[in-house]
Every structure is written in C-alpha cells, then in structure tokens.
Amino acid sequence: MINRNELVPVGHFRKPHGTKGEIAISLTDAVASLTRTDVIAGSTRNPLDSPVIARANARSNPFLICEIDGILVPFRIENYRPVSDSSAYIQLKNINSEEKAHELSHKEVFLQKTQFKGEIKNDESLGWEYFIGFTLIDEQLGTIGTITDIDTTTINTLFIVEKGAEEILIPAADEFIIQLNENQKELIVSLPEGLVE
C-alpha cells in the first residue's frame, strides 16, 4: 500500500494530447529545476529518470502516482516527450485512449521519495501550475470556474479557466490574489471590473 507520507508532489496532469492516451503534464518548479539540465527538446529520454532520481529497478521506468477516488494509484511511465523545462507529454501504461487520459486530467501527480537521489527542496513560493484544479472565486462575482491549465506563451502568464462549456483566460497575477484556501482548493481573487462577463 502506498503511504502519502512517502510521496513528493511533482506536478499535475493537464489535458489529453491526441487520441492514443498521451497526456500533458506540468512539473512543479522544484522538480523542473532538478530535471532542467536533462530536458532536451525532441528527446524521448525521461527527465524523471535522470541522475537526480534513483530507479528501484534498472529495467523499468518509474511510476507516477495520483489519487483516484481517495486511492493512491501508480502508473508506469512508458514514454516522455519534453515540451519545455516544466511540461511534457507523457504516455502511461494501460492508458491507451483519449477517454482514459481524460479521467486523469487535472489530477495532482506524485513520485515516491525513494525515487529521488538529491535533496528535495520544499520551496515556499508556489509556481502557477500549483493552482491547476483549484476553483477560482472572485470576491464580487463569486465562483468563476476551475483552473484547468496555465498559458505561458504570452508575456503575461494566464490561468485557463473552465467556466461551464467555455474556457476563459484570466491573468495570473499576485496582485489579484486575496486568499488561498488549500484545503478546499480555492483561490479567491479580486479581478478588475469588466475582466469577466
């Protein structure tokens, strides 16, 4: 049985990529900094299998673990394609369709502490990826939606928020954040008037 105390959060699954079960993953800043030197664009080498992460079995890939219905479930990594220093497309064993990958979307991802060779830094500053899966609530408007992804392709980082059937972009800015409720996974903000209709 997997013990939560033996796990390290390493990121969040994002959306499925394609129809064969591949899924995007965002790595936390702490893990991205450990693996940054191992990420080579276009490589299928797994930075989670880099020198900073020990392998229990030299012939197998490490397991990623996520919580499904209150149970910690391990998934073996079959393929890893880096997109940037902190994100990649990943193929997991037995996740072979878009539907199966969608079931993992926005779930927090863990590794066992024993898979790390180096020191794991618990950085007090949170990367924007930390908020994936949080409910975004404006102090005036109420619940806006769920943060499903982070867009870093523009000069300003944006939260991609699922609001009903549509996606909206909200600037990810410290000055908008009023309160963080980690237990309830809520991010309370004060957005400028007119930003959200």
Q: How confident is the model at residue 145 (pLDDT cuts 50, 70, 90)?
A: very high
Write out the CATH class of domain 128-189.
mainly beta
pLDDT tens-digit series, residues 116-144: 554 444 444 567 888 888 999 998 899 99
Query: In whole angstroms, what is the distance from residue 3 CA to residue 154 CA?
Result: 39
| Residue 44 confidence (pLDDT) above 50 | no
- The answer to whether the pTM exceeds 0.95 is no
Q: 166 phi and psi, to 5 degrees?
A: -115, 160
Q: Which CATH homologous superfamily contains domain 4-115? A: RimM (2.40.30.60)
pLDDT tens-digit series, residues 65-111: 888 888 888 888 888 887 776 778 888 889 999 999 989 988 888 88
Query: In whole angstroms, what is the distance from residue 78 CA to residue 61 CA?
Result: 7
For the chain, the structural domain boundaries read: 4-115, 128-189
Can you say whether the dihedral through the CA atoms of 144, 110, 42, 102 is positive or negative?
Answer: negative
Residue 49 is predicted with a pLDDT of: 46
Residue 118 is predicted with a pLDDT of: 46
Residue 38 is predicted with a pLDDT of: 39
Query: In whole angstroms, what is the distance from residue 48 CA to residue 177 CA?
Result: 32
**Residue whose C-alpha is closest to residue 91's, from 104, 81, 102, 105:** 81
Residue 169 is predicted with a pLDDT of: 92
| Residue 41 confidence (pLDDT) above 50 | no
| Residue 156 confidence (pLDDT) above 70 | yes
- The residue assigned the tokens 């300003």 is 156
Q: pLDDT higher for 35 or 27?
A: 27
